[in-house]
Structure formats: structure tokens, C-alpha cells
């Protein structure tokens, strides 16, 4: 999704959001991403076979900075503070790589 106030450019004739600048926190550089991932969907009500068969996972879009990546997980944060050299992170998530469908640097 491109917000109206975002700067854009054409890429192969398609309007794309320009990548945001990275941020420096402490002595480390972080980049912002759109993370598209699948989340579980639950329902505790009683239903018939046909309704149950229609259930599917939720596709979630999250914008966040990538803290780190491992072979199994992606760690993200969306807020932070840097008070007198003391760095703290908020709005944190750890995603199993198996639920991530795509990551786009924004």
C-alpha cells in the first residue's frame, strides 16, 4: 500500500514507494520493512462442516524495523528510545520464518 503522502517513483511502469532511510540506534543501523505474514484464526463457536471448511488463516501486513534475522526467526520492533545511550525497544515481535510470506524494504 502506498500512502498519499509517501514519495513514489515508477518501477517498470508501476508506482512504488521509495525506500525509507535507515535509522541508527546506538551503533547499529536498522531498516524498515513491510512484513506480510500468516496468523492463526480461531473460533470457539459450534458450526457445521461447510462453515468450518471455509476457515483460513489471516494475512497480516506489519511495518517495522528489523532487529535481527536468524535461520528460524525474524525479530522486529516499531518503536524505540535512546536516552543518554540507554537503548530500549518496543512494539516487538518474533516471527517464525515459516509464517512470513514476503518482506519488502520500505
Of 62, 88, 67, 87, which is closest to residue 77 (Cα–Cα)?
Answer: 67
φ, ψ at 6 (rounded to 5°):
-80, 145
Q: Is the pLDDT of residue 18 over 60?
A: yes
- Evaluate if residue 8 carries a pLDDT over 60: no
DSSP, res 25: E
Q: State the cell numbers at 5.
A: 503522502
Q: What are phi and psi of 19, to 5 degrees?
A: -65, 140
pLDDT at 12: 55
Closest by Cα among 26, 7, 5, 24 to 15 = 7
**Per residue in 38-57, pLDDT tens?**
999 999 999 999 999 999 99
Q: Say if residue 1's pLDDT is above 70.
A: no
Q: In whole angstroms, give the CA distance from residue 93 to residue 67.
A: 10
Identify the pLDDT of residue 15: 59
Spans of all domains in the chain: 8-105
19-31: pLDDT as tens digits = 778 999 988 999 9
Amino acid at each position: 500500500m502506498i500512502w498519499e503522502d509517501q514519495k513514489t517513483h515508477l518501477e517498470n511502469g508501476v508506482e512504488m514507494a521509495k525506500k525509507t532511510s535507515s535509522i541508527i540506534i546506538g551503533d547499529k543501523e536498522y531498516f524498515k520493512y513491510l512484513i506480510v505474514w500468516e496468523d492463526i484464526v480461531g473460533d470457539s463457536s459450534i458450526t457445521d462442516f461447510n462453515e468450518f471448511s471455509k476457515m483460513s488463516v489471516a494475512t497480516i501486513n506489519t511495518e517495522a524495523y528489523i532487529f535481527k534475522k536468524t535461520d528460524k526467526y525474524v525479530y522486529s520492533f516499531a518503536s524505540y528510545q535512546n536516552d543518554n545511550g540507554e537503548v530500549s525497544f518496543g512494539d516487538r515481535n518474533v516471527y517464525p520464518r515459516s509464517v512470513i510470506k514476503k518482506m519488502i524494504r520500505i
